[in-house]
């Protein structure tokens, strides 16, 4: 049995708590490793060392820190296949999807290679008589990142790259369900030149998270995970005087207008609804066709596509569309929610329950499920299912479809499929959701923009990565400077005896 360690002061460090969490192979249901769960003392010790290491790192000029990012980016590229395999082994997603996971994190590292530019301050010349004002961005000190299971490479990279490039030290607490990728990234960062102690990877559960939230040295917390935990962490971090940005769950709607290219819309829905077994915060889980005719035609196109999906372990190669869900509990919950949809009166057109794969009978596979005639009062609509289940909510008009989307408490991503620019523009302008796709199903912004949902999908006021991340991970100091006249106006230039 592999025993995963923490990563403290640049070295693999065994946990001392005696408490462990099991890391499963979701395709087989076997336990493949044990991850230690840190105590309050272990977290506090990691923070203390990080604070010591941060002093020199924060004083290192931004260009040198950026060079570490350059080397880190090169190493990620070099180790792309190895990292993707680590992701797939613990998460279960297919290898091409795992490569995407690494790639979208790498792109944030690439933006951080431009840290000197991102960290530049502002200057006002002659704001008053002989007075100049300038502001500078300084690192916060020690910051923390707490990340979910579903993007084991991308989200830790979203947290660590801008935090470190800004001159902070970071305590990263990855998901205890997929802990290994973050460990390998930490090793690569050391190889890239990051001084020991500047990145500490501490594994754990609520005890470790609470220790981070209550530690006075930790200045900021970046969290990604489910909404109830996001809200909890935001509240506790903020009441302890920390900066916090906490990104939560989602229920992403795609509106399909009568003029949409339905083949393209159906292809997009299948990829965005079932890819990664629906375990993406930007997955489309609700299709909202406008008009009965559009809905009927869409369902006709969706059904054969969904039936054809191939579910299997990542080791089966590129033939597989998606893999298992993360745990036995997740599988059970998804199947229970499907049953609730049936009992509440939705039409279950394709039933993914009871899916079994020969040779992988103990794996956490869920077949694709497709619902029609779901209504907003049903549990399957209200809950984030986080599984391979697509619900269709029929709308009578564009305004009704927009209202359904806007009334949903989540606001992470949304999309519209239409051939009409005016409708698309109106939608993008009015919808109360943070990331919008126009004929584009998963509108995760590129790394030089920023990522963040609205409503119950995010707590805090700045987005992840891009310019917002540099604002989050630095504090602004503004100097108002006046120099009284000196040598220029009245100075004495002649050599005189001192008498």
Where do contacts with ligand NAD occur on this chain (CB under 6 A)?
A: 146-151, 173, 175-176, 205-206, 209, 224-226, 229, 247-250, 281, 384, 386, 412, 453, 457
Give the H or E element holding residue 200: strand 199-201
Query: Sign of the C-alpha dihedral, residues 19, 25, 26, 31?
Result: negative
Q: How far is the CB of 175 from ligand NAD (least distance, A)?
A: 5
Q: How far is the CB of 232 from ligand NAD (least distance, A)?
A: 6
**Per DSSP, what are the bridge partners of residue 482?**
131
Cα 280–233–386 angle (5° rounding)?
20
Q: How far is the CB of 199 from ligand NAD (least distance, A)?
A: 16
b/e burial code for range 258-283 (CB count within 10 A of at least 16 → b): bebebeebbebbbbbbbbbbbbbbbb
CA neighbours closer than 13 Å in the CB half-sphere of residue 355: 26
Q: Which is nearer to ligand NAD, 203 or 301 (CB)?
A: 203
Cα 339–340–341 angle (5° rounding)?
90
DSSP 376: T
Q: How far is the CB of 340 from ligand NAD (least distance, A)?
A: 18
Q: Which is nearer to ligand NAD, 65 or 159 (CB)?
A: 159
Give the H or E element holding residue 145: strand 142-146
Q: Which is nearer to ligand NAD, 232 or 355 (CB)?
A: 232
Q: Comparing C-alpha atoms, which of 324, 251, 323, 307 is closest to residue 282?
A: 251
Q: Which is nearer to ligand NAD, 151 or 322 (CB)?
A: 151
Q: Which is nearer to ligand NAD, 363 or 460 (CB)?
A: 460
The CB-nearest residue to ligand NAD is 225
Return phi, psi of residue 445, to 5°: -60, 150
Q: How far is the CB of 90 from ligand NAD (least distance, A)?
A: 12
Q: How far is the CB of 221 from ligand NAD (least distance, A)?
A: 11
Candidates 112, 178, 246, 281; catalytic one: 281
Q: How far is the CB of 436 from ligand NAD (least distance, A)?
A: 15
- Catalytic, 281? Answer yes
Q: Which is nearer to ligand NAD, 180 or 412 (CB)?
A: 412
Q: Which long-range contacts (CB under 8 A, 24 or more apart) does 269-274 make?
A: 269/302, 269/390, 269/441, 270/302, 270/305, 270/306, 270/309, 271/441, 271/442, 272/415, 272/441, 272/442, 273/388, 273/389, 273/390, 274/306, 274/309, 274/321, 274/322, 274/368, 274/388, 274/390
CA dist., res. 415 & res. 427, Å (int): 9
The residues carrying an active-site annotation are 281
């Amino acid at each position: 049995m592999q025993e995963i360690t923490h990563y403290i002061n640049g070295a693999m460090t065994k946990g001392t708590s005696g408490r462990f969490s099991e890391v499963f192979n979701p395709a087989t249901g076997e336990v493949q490793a044990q991850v230690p769960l840190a105590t309050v003392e272990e977290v506090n010790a990691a923070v203390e060392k990080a604070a010591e290491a941060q002093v020199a790192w924060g004083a290192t000029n931004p260009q040198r820190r950026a060079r570490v990012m350059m080397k880190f980016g090169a190493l990620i590229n070099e180790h792309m296949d190895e990292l993707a395999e680590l992701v797939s082994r613990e998460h279960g997603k297919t290898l091409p999807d795992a490569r995407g996971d690494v790639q979208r994190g790498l792109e944030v590292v690439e933006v951080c290679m431009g840290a000197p530019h991102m960290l530049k301050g502002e200057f006002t010349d002659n704001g008053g008589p002989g007075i100049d004002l300038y502001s500078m961005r300084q690192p916060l000190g020690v910051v923390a990142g707490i990340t979910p299971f579903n993007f084991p490479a991308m989200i830790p990279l979203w947290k660590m790259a801008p935090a470190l490039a800004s001159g902070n030290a970071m305590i990263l607490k990855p998901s205890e369900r997929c802990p290994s990728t973050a460990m390998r990234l930490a090793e690569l960062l050391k190889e890239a030149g990051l001084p020991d102690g500047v990145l500490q990877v501490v594994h754990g559960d609520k005890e470790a998270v609470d220790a981070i939230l209550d530690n006075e040295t930790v200045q900021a917390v970046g969290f990604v995970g489910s909404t109830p935990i996001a809200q909890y962490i935001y509240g506790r971090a903020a009441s302890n005087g920390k900066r916090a940005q906490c990104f939560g769950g989602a229920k992403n709607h795609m509106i399909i207008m009568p003029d949409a290219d339905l083949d393209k819309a159906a292809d997009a829905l299948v990829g965005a609804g079932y890819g990664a077994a629906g375990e993406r915060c930007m997955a489309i889980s609700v299709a909202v066709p406008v008009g009965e005719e559009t809905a009927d035609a869409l369902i006709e196109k969706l059904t054969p596509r969904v039936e054809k999906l191939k579910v299997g372990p990542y080791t089966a190669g590129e033939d597989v569309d998606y893999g298992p869900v993360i745990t036995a509990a997740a599988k059970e919950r998804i199947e229970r929610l499907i049953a609730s949809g049936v009992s509440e009166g939705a039409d279950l057109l394709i039933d993914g329950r009871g899916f079994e794969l020969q040779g992988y009978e103990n794996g956490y596979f869920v077949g694709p499920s497709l619902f029609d005639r779901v209504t907003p009062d049903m549990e399957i609509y209200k809950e984030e299912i986080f599984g391979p289940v697509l619900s269709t909510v029929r709308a009578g008009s564009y305004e009704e479809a927009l209202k359904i989307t806007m009334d949903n408490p989540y606001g992470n991503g949304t999309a519209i499929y239409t051939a009409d620019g005016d409708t698309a523009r109106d939608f993008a302008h009015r919808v109360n959701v943070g990331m919008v796709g126009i004929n584009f199903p998963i509108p995760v912004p590129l790394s030089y923009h920023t990522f963040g949902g609205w409503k119950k999908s995010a707590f805090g006021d700045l987005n992840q990565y891009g310019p917002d991340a540099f604002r989050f991970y630095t504090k602004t100091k503004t100097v108002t400077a006046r120099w009284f006249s000196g040598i220029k106006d009245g100075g004495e230039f002649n050599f005189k005896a001192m008498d």
